[in-house]
Every structure is written in structure tokens, then in C-alpha cells.
Structure 1
Amino acid sequence: MTVAPPTATERASRVKLMIFDVDGVLTDGGLLFTAEGDTMKGFNSMDGHGMKLLRQAGIETAIITGRQSGIVAARVKEMNITHVYQGVQDKPAAFADLLQQTGLTAEDCGYMGDDWVDLAVMLRVGFAAAPANSHPEVIARAHWVSEARGGYGAAREVCDTLLRAQHKYEALLAAACSGEQRGLVG
């Protein structure tokens, strides 16, 4: 008898660590350059709030990105993300280091990426997610695809999906409605 592979919801229910790429996932992928050559990026506050909700629910978050950016460093510091890998040329090696640092297995992890450089990690994790505007090869290999584009709420969608799959969404929403989440901003 053939056993059906786990659904995206089943996979999401097991995630203990959600890892995000930055460009094209937490941003729209656009790079704005000043006349001095500095790079600027825009982040969606709802994405940030979703990541904070994950941590509040006991799901760790991490960043693995190919670019080195002071803007990203400032954003992750503001959001209290402790596992941050910037300027990464070998994402699988960074992922292996992250597993060693956390003591988790690849099956315990989720990863949201948008382009070919993310595939090697996406194919190893228990839950692979992609923004709606990801490269078609990434979408074809993802377990779950957001309705939103990268930088426009895709990360928040995956955060909400994880919280719902782990039956933590309603309690967090109730706390927000009662005012118990004061000071939790994205």
C-alpha cells in the first residue's frame, strides 16, 4: 500500500525553526542604490510582526541571505532574530551550521526562498515555502506557496500558516484582541 506524502499543513505543524531568505522574500527583491553606492531595501512591517508571533509561539526564526547588508543587520536586531547568516555564498553550509547551533534536524525546519540559490536548502527542510512571485522552478519544488508576493506579506502568510497548523493562531489572536500583546510590533 502506498502512503501519501505529508500535506503542507502536516509539514507546517512540525516546524520548530522557520528560516527566511531576504531579497525577494522579506523584500520585493528590488535593490535601490544611492549616488554613493549604498543599497536600500524596504521591509513589510506585517512580515516582521508575523516573525515575532512565531517566536512568541515558541517557533524560532533565522535568516540566511547571500547579500551582506547593514540594513538587514539593523532590521534583524530590531526584531531580535539571533540566528543570522549574511553574505552567504554556500547556503547549505550555513544551514548545516544552523542545525548544529540549534540541535535541530532538517525535518524540524522550514525555509522560505524565491530563487535557485535557495533550492538546495529548500529540498532538505521539512517544510519548503515560496512567495507567489518566486522563480517557477522554486514554486514547483515548494510544499506551500503564498498568495502574496515577496516583500508584500508573503512572510506573514507563511507565519500565519505555521501558527494555524500548530493550533497557536487563535490564542495569539485572542491575546491581541484583549490587549495582552502590547509592545509587540513588526
Structure 2
Amino acid sequence: MTSSALTSAERASRVKLMIFDVDGVLTDGGLLFTAEGDTMKAFNSMDGHGAKLLREAGIDTAIITGRKSGIVAARARELRITHLYQGVEHKLEAFAQLLNETGRTAEECGYMGDDWVDLAVMLKVGFAAAPANSHPEVIARAHWVSEARGGHGAVREVCDALLRAQGRYDALLAAACSGEMPRGLVG
């Protein structure tokens, strides 16, 4: 079967490293500025929990974003996302660096983006995902599109889809139901 003939679930089953954009994916894309010019962002706790579940299932996570923010660095630390690329003008270059650092192939990677700046990476990875409110050109090129909007559960949806495709969802859910969920998995 050629890679173009793979279903989104088959593509998701191969992901070993899931990469996220920030604005419009991990957040709703809104930018709040203080009077001093600092940027504030709101993150969804369920999205964060999904990223932690990926780590628990052995799927590594990364962020590649065009903006640079201490808030994003703090959120990445909280979620234990060790691969953080901020202030990236050319995301494809950061993606190549990430592949080099992790030893992963593009086919083993997933990427969730929402706008044109994400397309170059999305067209290289094995699994391209987009929030429901992404630009139409991004949606047209994604292998998988969430029902939720960016910053409102889209990341959690894609994390759940990856866990299901890799046969890990039910075991993690059972652990949560029995109270045996590992510590530190709060989003």
C-alpha cells in the first residue's frame, strides 16, 4: 500500500513524534497584550492532558511556533515537552533540525497546524492534522481534522485519535477509571 493510500488511522498508528503549532492550535489564536506589550495566551487543560497521555504512551511531543514567548516555554515545561522551537521563521528548517535531534523520520511524525505557515511541514509528515477552524487550504491538505476548534479541545481530540490508532486508549482510560493513572498527568 502506498503512503498516499493510507487512511488517517493507519497514518496515526505510525506516529512516534507529534508536533504542535501554538497559536490557533494549542490556543484559540487570540493574542492578548498587556499595557507593557507582553503577550498573554490561554491554554486548554484537556489539551495539555492529551499531550501528557501521549508521553505516557511513548509518543514524544514537540512544539514549533513562529512567536517567542515565556508563556509557551512555561507551558512546554509543565507538559514536559522537551523539543521546543520558538521564534521560528521557517518551520521546515526547525522540522529538519528536530528530525536530526530525535533520529525520527518524517513518516514517523505527526504535525497539527492551522495556517499557511504550517503547510510545508504538514506536507512532509506522515500524519497531518488540523483544528476545525483552520484555514481552508490547511484543511484541504490535512489527513485528519478535529471537530473542535484550536484552543478548545482540538489537541485533545488528535491525541485521543493517536492513542486509539495505536491501541493505547482503552488501557489508559481503564487506568484512569481505576485510579491507577500515573502522577503528573494533570493537563
Q: TM-score range by the shorter chain?
A: over 0.9
The ranges of structure 1 where at least 4 consecutive aligned residues each deviate by more than 4 angstroms after the TM superposition are none
The one-letter code matched in structure 1 to 2:16 is K
Structure 1 residue runs of 5 or longer lacking an equivalent are none
In 2: Cα distance, 1:135 partner to 1:111 partner: 15
Partner-residue secondary structure (3-state), 1:63: strand
How many residue pairs get aligned? The number is: 186
In 2: Cα distance, 1:161 partner to 1:116 partner: 24
Is 1:154 the equivalent of 2:177? no
Structure 2 residue runs of 5 or longer lacking an equivalent are none
The one-letter code matched in structure 2 to 1:106 is A
Equivalent residue runs for 1:1-186 within 5 Å: 5-181=5-181, 182-186=183-187
The one-letter code matched in structure 2 to 1:105 is T
The one-letter code matched in structure 1 to 2:186 is V
Partner-residue secondary structure (3-state), 1:18: strand
Structure with greater helix percent: 2
Q: TM-score by structure 2 length?
A: 0.97
Q: Is the alpha carbon distance of 1:84 and 1:136 closer, same or farther for their aligned partners in structure 2, counting shifts above 3 Å?
A: same
Q: TM-score by structure 1 length?
A: 0.97
Q: Is the alpha carbon distance of 1:101 and 1:3 closer, same or farther for their aligned partners in structure 2, counting shifts above 3 Å?
A: closer
1:124 Cα deviation after fit? 0.1
Partner-residue secondary structure (3-state), 2:63: strand
Partner-residue secondary structure (3-state), 2:61: strand
Alpha-carbon RMSD:
1.4
What is the percent sequence identity of the aligned residues? 82
